[in-house]
Structure 1
Amino acid sequence: MVNKSHDDTAVMLRNVSKHFGEVTALNDVSFTVNKGEIVALLGPNGAGKTTAISLMLGLRKPTYGDITLFGEDPRTPASHRYVASMLQESKVPDTLHVREVIELFKRLYMSRKTVEEALKASALESKANSRVGKLSGGERQRLYFALCVVADAALLFLDEPTVAMDVESRRLFWEQVESMSSLGKTIVLTTHYLEEADALANRVIVINHGKIIAQGTPSAIKSQVNGKFVRFHSSNLKDGVLSNLVGVHHVKSKDDLISFRTFHPEQVLQQLFAWGVDIKDLEVNSVGLEEAFVTLTSNRTEES
């Protein structure tokens, strides 16, 4: 029996592994999520993120290890009162109206939140009386988020929540998540939009091949990959020139857009200018979370 916890831990995974036959989806994973934190689980497709979410929700049982939500086993009904989730594959009856579905969830959670608050938070006021089956993909995602809002749960699991959302809807979603966090909600999300994780998360956990390969604040993750990111357009840069320069890494070229990383951008650019390379729209930036993520996961793939 899992002992209840009275500390600041909302989620705890301890030495968790999950096997599907001969496939190991998670391998000895341990981490905690504190109350009020926004934590982003990042990783390539098949890394184990969705498996981790399903285990934390109690939808699957770990092969080994322990998981608790506020000290409760997530497979027990007692833990469900704390949790709301927005999964990649969600489904509500197409014949119901948007308002009806939100009202149903409000009653299930015995929530003090109003349907109107949930509609506003998800920008679905104009769709309140529309049938679910008539909603677009992005509108359905916003409906599933509205269900999390109206539940008013202490812990939210958001698995790829902004897929199919347009830019405006995604920005509104970010604002709402930050607002919920300011009210003390704990949020665990997965996303392929690295900008989203960088903007929202207090902490990032990078999973690859079922193992945690890095974790920390977005700034700490980015600091693990040093150097500067250089990008520009060029109409006359010959193939292989950059790759032959000392200290230039991760060279990419598509049409006339060139990008690479280096510890010494000034020296590299000085050499290119001396060779008469045509350089336009030059950008020199610190390595972003996306570049750090790609480097970390690529390095681990090469090592394995």
Structure 2
Amino acid sequence: MQAHQDLLVNVSHLTKKFGQQMALDDISLSIRANEVVALLGENGAGKTTTISHLLGQLEADSGSVRLLGHPAGHWAAKQQMGVMLQGAALPDNVTVIEQLRLFASYYPDSQSLEQVLNTALLTDLTQRKIQTLSGGQKQRLLFAMAIIGTPRLVILDEPTVGLDATARREFWACIRALAAQGTAVLLTTHYLEEADALADSIVVLAKGRVVAEGIPAQIKAQLGGKRVCFRSTATPTDLKTVLPHCSASRRGDYLEFYTTTPEAHLKQLFAANLVIQDLTVSGISLEDAFLQLTQQAGVVSPFPLQQEKTA
């Protein structure tokens, strides 16, 4: 449909240095109406710097950033944006509805309170004091504050960090509802399952460069085929001797490799009489692809990827 063709964000060959440190190295990305774009990368990859340029807080060394037909930071662009950043503070001693009425007064074309409450799943919490809300409920309130001005573009920076599985999935419903209304969404997250579930398009940053972009299936397809994993006393070198065209790696007691012909490669492994236990053959996850892409870019993160909590 036509709305989906509307280009709302156009970042073209954006480059930024801080001293001798290259923060962004010739990156480009675009976001259209109705689209959820996930910006992924390890800490220090350039996600926050990218968002700061979108908000007009930083000036590019080269390249351009245009939002809603205007340069980044232009008042006309700001009026049509909603932002939910990490670490935002909320007053304790006001109710949910009081906080939303206050924010609605800031915009000339705010949404109805009823609509915002429905989208953010806050209908039953209007009279609750903010200090009594759970972490997930506070995140949904921050989300409601970001969308109440009827923005065409919403930036969500790690919106579900620290939430349990149930609260995270409730928030996913909020994001889907927002995109369904025609809003473009830029999402940063360390939860790769979240990006896989929500994003129409994914951009992977590593060391300030775009190392992959496309729909989740395209990102995963770059590894090809299936992931084969098994427990063994064999080494990656042993496996290379048996399967010279496969690159194996070790995770604890397990060896793993990726292949487009798992049946043929498994026959070769069994014929070589290697010790194989706890064998699994599975589809490639976004986490597999993300790790491979960032490792190829020479990124070794001291922080593990965040796994979803079980409530």
Instruction: Provide the TM-score with structure 2 as the length reference.
Output: 0.82
Instruction: Give, in whole Å, the separation in 2 of the partners of 1:122 and 1:260.
Output: 42
**1:10 alignment counterpart:** 8
Gaps of 5+ in 2: 300-311
What one-letter code is carried by the residue in structure 2 that aligns with 1:10? L
**1:290 alignment counterpart:** 287
Compared CA separation, residues 245 and 74, structure 1 to 2 (3 A): same
- The correspondence of residues 1-304 of structure 1 with structure 2, limited to 5 A, is 8-232=6-230, 234=231, 237-240=232-235, 242=239, 245-246=242-243, 247-254=245-252, 259-270=256-267, 273=270, 275=273, 277=275, 279-280=277-278, 282-301=279-298
SS at match of 1:249: coil
SS at match of 1:16: strand
Q: 2:223 touches 2:258 (CA, 8 Å); kept in 1?
A: no
Instruction: Give, in whole Å, the separation in 2 of the partners of 1:178 and 1:42.
Output: 19
Post-superposition offset of 1:169 = 2.3
Post-superposition offset of 1:112 = 4.8
Post-superposition offset of 1:59 = 2.4
Compared CA separation, residues 218 and 104, structure 1 to 2 (3 A): same
**2:309 alignment counterpart:** none
Instruction: Give, in whole Å, the separation in 1 of the partners of 2:75 and 2:90.
Output: 21
**2:304 alignment counterpart:** none
Compared CA separation, residues 51 and 147, structure 1 to 2 (3 A): same
Compared CA separation, residues 32 and 216, structure 1 to 2 (3 A): same
Aligned CA RMSD, in angstroms, stands at 2.6
Instruction: Give, in whole Å, the separation in 1 of the partners of 2:192 and 2:202.
Output: 10
Instruction: Give, in whole Å, the separation in 2 of the partners of 1:269 and 1:169.
Output: 41
SS at match of 2:151: coil
Structure 1 segments, 4+ long, off by >6 Å, are none
SS at match of 1:151: coil
Instruction: Give, in whole Å, the separation in 2 of the partners of 1:72 and 1:39.
Output: 20
What one-letter code is carried by the residue in structure 2 that aligns with 1:300? A
Task: Out of 195-204 and 257-266, give the one that drifted further.
Answer: 257-266
Compared CA separation, residues 126 and 231, structure 1 to 2 (3 A): farther
Post-superposition offset of 1:218 = 1.6
